Structure 1
Amino acid sequence: MALKTRFTELVGIEHPIVQGGMQWVGRAELVAAVANAGGLGFITALTQPTPDKLREEIERCRSLTKKPFGVNLTILPAINPPPYAEYRQAIIDSGVKIVETAGNKPQEHVDEFKKHGIIVVHKCTSVRHGLSAERMGVDAISIDGFECAGHPGEDDVPGLILIPAAADKIKIPMIASGGFGDARGLVAALALG
């Protein structure tokens, strides 16, 4: 029996389980396993050394699953930033239907993805960032409590506090992220909003 939520209906998955982008871990094998189990997995774009290698990883994932999966593009400030626009184009050219953005000011990427009919989920670490992403036009957010790890989390607010605070303000579908390891966590996330 599938558990339906606004998010499962938005992205066409069976279960409200998401494996977000994780540097060095979000590869085709893991993403396909999550997809085949009925959840949504994200290939981590910047784990791949070049946009062409990302194209290959997307195709490899397609060879392992026929179910929905996405790609994470994290935008971080850097002295020598990766070629974000080229990674974005690789995602678009590969026909990916769902993208998770994270990091600083992704507006140009969101706009380009939306022009191509791609569903955009933005990873946020505070309610104010979630509201900003909603105004930016994303389709859903991932609200990441401090225990989620892998992000700077400016406010250090844990999920049990952050998730219901975001649910009170955010109107678009929302993923509760971080600190969930079993069915009890899923039930808690659903109860939190």
Structure 2
Amino acid sequence: MRTRFTELFGVEHPVVQGGMQWVGRAPLVAAVANAGGLGFITALTQPTPEDLRAEIRRARELTDSPFGVNLTILPTITPPPYHEYRQVIIDEGVPFVETAGANPVDHLPHFHDAGIKVIHKCTSVRHGLKAQALGVDALSIDGFECAGHPGEDDVPGLILIPAAADAIEIPFIASGGFGDGRGLAAALALGAEGINMGTRFMATVESGIHQNVKDRLVAASERDTDLIFRQLRNTARVASNAISREVVEKLNAGAKFEDVRDLVAGKRGAVVYETGDLDHGIWSAGLVQALITDIPTCAELIGRIVRDAEEIITGRLAGIVRAA
């Protein structure tokens, strides 16, 4: 499959593994790259900029194909040294960056001066238009189905993707709810140039998270997520567990963020991935878990997605048109 996205980023398949905190590490990213997709190391999973440098070099030992780094910019009381992480990305010659969270305007000139292409993740058309005006090279448009932060507009991909296609000129990929060939074919039909997957890549052989988490993703349905922080207008979609339900209950009862801060600490979520204790903390999962039925290698997954999408486009859909 050739799209504007594959041409711009020089990858074989229009399938992207986006940044995932505690998950986007070198072995997974390299496996995606070796399978012809585009993978992203998650910068802030690494404790320091020098740790990120080591992770980039580790990925290069595992693949000769291009990969990128995700830099998520979030407003916090004690922000990480973003400029130091950025400089490591530049110094190491990483060709692609995925930005997310806040406006990337402070980082964009530095990346572009170094010849780095930037994909910015957005949850609305208006934010996509703003990022396009800033000069990003491509967009990842995140529908309400996604894991993590879906924004506050609650617009699902079936509406958001074609709305973006009508308004945005630069290439964009569709995110949120994608996990198989049907999704890729649908995204292309709706106007996207490819798909971005997070939750689906968690349930792969090369994903470095505990087997209990992978098994839970296979067993879960589309109803097994919770939306936390709705009352704070900082909505996040996470796997439903004892902690997420307690957070929702407390916030519904009028609690403030300070009252649930310890429950939602990121380090507790990291322990889930490390130990497989599914109720230890908050961890992200999207609605696409309902479509996850196995734990393949990244090569098997990407190959299957592309083959199935091609069959849908050239087979079943073409047959419908001929029959008409």
Structures share fold, TM-score greater than 0.5 = yes
Q: How does 1:118-129 map to 2 (within 5 A)?
A: 118-129=116-127
SS of match in other structure, 1:56: helix
Instruction: After superposition, give the CA deviation of every residue in 1:15-34 in whole Å (9 maximum; x if it has no partner).
Output: 00001001111000110111
Alignment-derived partner of residue 167 in structure 2: 169
Identity %: 77
Q: Which of 1 and 2 has greater Rg?
A: 2
* CA displacement at 1:68 relative to structure 2: 1.0
What is the total number of aligned residue pairs between the two structures? 191
Q: 2:99 aligns with which of 98, 101, 107?
A: 101
Alignment-derived partner of residue 214 in structure 2: none
* CA displacement at 1:151 relative to structure 2: 1.6
Alignment-derived partner of residue 66 in structure 1: 64
* CA displacement at 1:96 relative to structure 2: 0.2
Any runs of at least 4 consecutive aligned residues in structure 1 with deviations exceeding 4 A, and if so which? none
Alignment-derived partner of residue 22 in structure 2: 24
Query: 5+ residue gaps in structure 1?
Result: none
Alignment-derived partner of residue 144 in structure 1: 142
Alignment-derived partner of residue 135 in structure 1: 133
Alignment-derived partner of residue 191 in structure 1: 189
* CA displacement at 1:149 relative to structure 2: 1.6
* CA displacement at 1:78 relative to structure 2: 0.1
SS of match in other structure, 1:67: coil
Amino acid of the structure 2 residue aligned with 1:19: Q
Indicate the structure whose relative CO is greater, using CA pairs within 8 Å and at least 6 residues apart. Answer: 2
User: Counterparts of 1:53 and 1:112 in 2: how far apart (Å)?
Assistant: 21
Return the TM-score normalized by structure 1.
0.97
| 8 Å contact kept, 2:108–2:118 | yes
* Aligned alpha-carbon RMSD (Å): 0.7
| 8 Å contact kept, 2:43–2:52 | yes
Amino acid of the structure 2 residue aligned with 1:54: L
User: Counterparts of 1:92 and 1:6 in 2: how far apart (Å)?
Assistant: 25
SS of match in other structure, 1:143: strand
User: Counterparts of 1:44 and 1:71 in 2: how far apart (Å)?
Assistant: 6
| 8 Å contact kept, 2:33–2:67 | yes
* CA displacement at 1:152 relative to structure 2: 4.5
User: Counterparts of 1:135 and 1:92 in 2: how far apart (Å)?
Assistant: 23
SS of match in other structure, 1:101: strand
SS of match in other structure, 1:108: coil
Amino acid of the structure 2 residue aligned with 1:16: P
User: Counterparts of 2:185 and 2:69 in 1: how far apart (Å)?
Assistant: 26
Per mean C-alpha deviation after superposition, the further-off stretch among 55-64 and 146-155 is 146-155
User: Counterparts of 2:88 and 2:4 in 1: how far apart (Å)?
Assistant: 28
Alignment-derived partner of residue 4 in structure 1: 2
Alignment-derived partner of residue 76 in structure 2: 78
